[in-house]
Amino acid sequence: MATSTVVAPLVMRIVASSIQIANRAGRIIRDVLAKGDLGIVEKDGKDDLQTEADRSAQRCIVASLEKLFPNVTIIGEEGACDTRVPEDWLVSDVNGEFLAGNACPDALKQVKESELVIWVDPLDGTSEYTQGFLERVTVLIGISVNDRAVGGVIHQPFFQTDSGTQGRTIWGVKGIGAGGFVPTRPPTDRFIV
């Protein structure tokens, strides 16, 4: 008996891939920190730092996205980069849970690669990273269609889960909502705005 394979719409595949890619970039960021040599350079001034983690995470993200979506424009915060990366930095899988659990909004079903731009900030919070404020560090991948934001992925490499693992990835898509986290109720003895 033949089975049919349904290919998810492009935007959904990009988000599902970006979830996995951001996770891999987060591991690279943790690995650079563990080695103890951040490789800090100044980009445009003393308050604009770049580390080996910025450069390596961007190379991982851009190389993976370019391989999967060769006709999509990708803009990285760290500028042009060498996309020849170690094989284990290339991510080719998708987050099946995201694809299985979410229907693509009608407005995003027919988007073409030429209409898309993927924005990459491989390590948002570089200054905090160099100072040890690790809970403030994120990997950001944004997706726009015809100059309008439609989705994105935020990975927190140093987030501690209840199970003891490090890192969590949150995603959002216009018309679907957000996922990758469990909302918690605020304390009843406080007023939080």
Active site residues: 54, 126
Judge whether 31 is annotated as a binding position.
no
Phi, psi of 135 (to 5 degrees): -65, -15
Judge whether 124 is annotated as a binding position.
yes
Contacts of 185 (CB under 8 A, 6+ apart): none
What is each CA distance from 40 to 29, 32, 47, in whole angstroms? Answer: 13, 11, 12
Judge whether 115 is annotated as a binding position.
no
| Cα-based torsion angle of the residue sequence 127, 129, 130, 131 in order, rounded to the nearest 10 degrees | 90
Q: Which residue, among 152, 144, 153, 150, has the nearest Cα to 175 in the 3D structure?
A: 150
In angstroms and rounded to an integer, the radius of gyration of the C-alpha atoms of the chain is 18
- Say how far apart CA 56 and CA 101 lie, in whole Å: 31
Judge whether 121 is annotated as a binding position.
yes
Q: Which residues are annotated as a binding site?
A: 77, 121, 123-124
Q: Which residues are annotated as a binding site for Mg(2+)?
A: 77, 121, 123-124
